[in-house]
Amino acid sequence: MNQHHEVRLNVNGTEHTVSVPPRKLLVDCLREDLRLTGTHVGCEQGVCGACTIIMDGQNVRSCLMFAVQADGASIETIESLASGPEDLHPVQQAFVDCHGLQCGFCTPGMVLAAKSFLEQNPSPTDDEIREAIAGNICRCTGYTFIVDAIRTAAERMAGEEAGQHV
C-alpha cells in the first residue's frame, strides 16, 4: 500500500512529473513538491477556499483532491496570473485599486475564483459575483470591497475587449 505514483501535471504552463504517495493532497504537492506556496492551506475541510486553484478551467479546492487524481491535468495557481514579473492581471489590479484584501491569506483563492468566474460570465450582476465567491471565506473584510474589485475588473476587461474590437 502507499506505493508512489508518477504524476504528470501541467502547472502554470510548465510540465512537471512528481512522485507521490496516493494520500498526498494536491495542495501539499503544489506547496511542497513544486514550492508554489501562494496556494494556502486553511481549514483543510473544504470550507474556506484558501486552497482554491483552477484545474482544467474550473475552480477546485486543492485540499479536497489527491495529487494522483490530477494526473494529466492543467493547473493554474495564483503564481501564473500575471504575465511578467512586475505585472498584474486585471483582476489582481482591481483588487489593489479597490482595497479588496487585507491579510492576504484568502486572497489567492479569492482572485482565482474571480478570474475563472469572469471568464465564464464577463458581465455579472452583484448577485452573481456574491454567489461566485460564496465558497471563499474572508475573515478580515466584510466582502463588499471584494465584490467592488470583481465588478471593477469585469468593467475594465469589458472595456479592453471593446477597445480591441474597435
Partner 1 sequence: MQTPASFDYERATSVEGAIASLARLGPEARVIAGGHSLLPMMKLRLAQPEHLIDINDLEAELSYIRDEGGEIAIGALTRHVDLLKSELLAQHFPVFRDAEEVIADPVVRNRGTIGGSLCQADPAEDLSAVCTAVKAKAVIRGTDGQRVVPMDEFHVAPYMTAVNDGELLTEIRLPLFPGAGSAHEKVERRAGDWAIAAASAAVWVDRSTIHDVGIGLSAVGLTTVHLKRAEELLRGKPPSEELFQQAGQVASEDCSPMADGRGPVDYKRHLAGVLTKRALSRATARALKQEA
Partner 2 sequence: MTVVTGTGTREVGRSRTRLDAREKLRGEAMFTGDMEVPGMLYGRVLRSQHPHAEIVSINTSAAERMPGVAAVLVGRDLLDIDPYYGHAIKDRPIIAIERVRFSGEPVAAVAAEDEATAEAALAAIEVVYEELPLVDTIDKALDPAAPLLHEGPIRPGLFHGLGNLGERDGNIGYRYRLDSGDVAGESAGAAFVTEGEYLFPAVYQYAMETHSVIADWKPNEIAIWASCQHPFLVQAEIADLFGLPIGAVRIQVPYLGGGFGSKSYTKMEPLTVALSRKARAPVKIVNRVDESMVTSRRHGMRCWMRTTADADGTLLTRESRFWLDTGAYMDNGPRVTATAADSAPGPYRWRAVHIDAMCVYCNTAPSGSYRAFGATHLQWVAESQLDELARKAGIDPLEMRRRNLLRPGEPVRPDGSGKPLDADLIGDVERAAAAVGWDEPKGPLVGRGVSVGLLAAGAHPVSRASVRMRADGSVEVSVGTTEMGQGPRTVMAQIAAEELGCSSDRVRVLGADTRFTPYDRSTGASRSTTLAGKAVQNAAAAVAAKLRETACEVWDVASELIELRDGKAAYGDLEMEFSEVIAKRFGFTGGEIIEGGEVRPMGGDTGSYAEGPVFWEVCVAAVEVEVDPELGKVNVTRTATVADVGRAINPLLVERQDEGAFMQGYGNAMFEEMVYRDGELINDNLLEYRVPRIQDLPRQMTSIVVENEDGPGPHGAKGCGEGALAAVPAAIVNALGDAGVPITQLPLTPERVWRRLQDLSEPQSTEELT
Interacting residues with partner 1 (CB under 8 A): 1-3, 5, 21-23, 28, 41, 44-46, 49, 52, 58-61, 64-66, 68-69, 71, 113, 131-132, 134-136
Among 52, 107, 116, 152, binds partner 2 (CB under 8 A): 107
Rounded CA-CA distance 73/75 in Å is 6
Rounded CA-CA distance 49/162 in Å is 32
Q: Report what 20 binds from partner 2, partner 1, none; CB cut-off 5-8 Å by kind.
A: none
Among 105, 114, 154, 157, binds partner 2 (CB under 8 A): 105
| Binding to partner 2 in span 124-163, by CB under 8 A | 130-131, 133-147
Rounded CA-CA distance 132/117 in Å is 7
Taking alpha carbons only, the member of 57, 73, 53, 63 closest to residue 27 is: 63
State the CB neighbour count (10 A cutoff) for residue 86: 6
Q: Can you tell me whether residue 23 is helix, strand or coil?
A: coil
* Nearest CB to partner 2, comparing residues 7 and 52: 52
* Nearest CB to partner 1, comparing residues 87 and 125: 125
Work out whether 102 is an interface residue with partner 2 (CB under 8 A). yes
Q: Report which secondary-structure segment, H or E, holds 4.
A: none
* Nearest CB to partner 1, comparing residues 38 and 49: 49
Contact 98, 148 (CB under 8 A): yes
Distances (CA, A) of 89 to 27, 85, 93, 97: 23, 11, 6, 12
Site map (CB under 8 A) of partner 2, residues 1-40, x = contact: ------------------------------x----xxxxx
Tell me, by CB under 8 A, how many residues bind partner 2.
51
Contact 70, 55 (CB under 8 A): yes
**Chain residues that interact with partner 2, rule: CB under 8 A:** 31, 36-45, 47-48, 50, 77-79, 81-82, 88, 92, 95-97, 99, 101-108, 111, 130-131, 133-147
